[in-house]
Chain A
């Protein structure tokens, strides 16, 4: 009997050609698009500018270190070419750059979904620093903090190949991001069933809740992912 009324109501609604105005739709969608263009999003408002400030200061310090010896070098160029290298070797440059908060670009990359090497490429960096930057980028991926961020990113995007590679290395499988979300939680949220299976098989905690107390199981239920829900329950998720 419930269905009859609901069915008639739905039929009535289907026949009802009244709808909100196109102007209203345009206004809402424009507003939503404008909000995405605005630089700061409500979540983690302070964490965004800090890496930029530290990064800029570190880059300026490094540039100063590289340029100053050339400006004040008393030797003629030919002599200096024989006694001193024109640019520091990649390793030295990498060491100088290590004073910068090295894990920040990778952390930012995990928020935006950019990959590690892409995020490490700084626009405006001197060309001769390219090799050093590449070395640094490669090293960044090997740091524990960066590996955790890359692991979460791979889990979230369903990049199973990278996920396998990272799980083979030493990585904290349940390392959370700033909002307390583990790789498993992100995979469950985004419906990445293969990532979830892989993480669970490697011992990820199925009950690791985020900062708001949401568990991977709740996230999967909310995201309407029955396969992931089943996998989590099999692994003892509550």
Chain B
């Protein structure tokens, strides 16, 4: 059954012409890729643009995908590369930091959640909003390593390969990122 297929099986099916397999793959990873892009770039419009580029590239290169790497590693490598290209391009015109800051927008979305009870929901929303803001305030390398791990579900070695850093550097970035997030949350509390 298609829904039970692994990512690698689905991309293989798509490469042989099964469009439904691609749709399933897209829906499976849509939010993770989008959050990775949006929280790194802090700009929803740019994230949307890159999201399209990433998935167009996946569709175009599906036949060239080799199952020697996990599909998610391949997917987030594409996303990382597109993001780096975009940052380089934006730096030619302006400072990357001026791309935009959508934290307030994110918080507005967070506070719009209707499912939780009023008090618990408010606490959860505040905590969640604080964490999202804290992630966005991390230094770029730490933020990216952290997002690749939590959104891409990648291990240190995979993140090191994608970002072109050493294993130890990547490990340190992840450790610093979590320490900083913990401190920021403490401040919030």
Contact = CB atoms under 8 A, between A and B. Distances in A.
Contact of A33 (B19, B51, B128): B19
A41 interface: yes
Chain B, interface SS category = helix
Contact of A21 (B23, B35, B48): B48
B161 interface: no
Contacts of B67: 189, 214, 218-219, 222-223
Interface of B: 6, 8-9, 12, 14-19, 22-23, 26, 30-31, 34-35, 38, 44, 47-48, 51-52, 55-56, 59-61, 63-64, 66-71, 105-106, 109-110, 112-113, 116, 124-125, 127-129, 131-132, 135, 149-150, 178, 181-182, 185
A24 B18 CA distance: 20
Contact of A17 (B110, B132, B135): B110
Interface string A1-13: 1101110111111
A191 interface: yes
A47 interface: no
A136 B48 CA distance: 54
Given A1-B182, A36-B17, 20 more contacts: A8-B185, A10-B150, A11-B127, A12-B132, A15-B128, A20-B47, A25-B26, A27-B52, A32-B14, A32-B26, A33-B22, A36-B18, A42-B60, A42-B63, A190-B12, A191-B6, A219-B68, A222-B8, A223-B6, A225-B6
Contacts of B48: 20-21, 24
Give the size range of A's interface with the partner: 35 or more
Contacts of B56: 28, 31
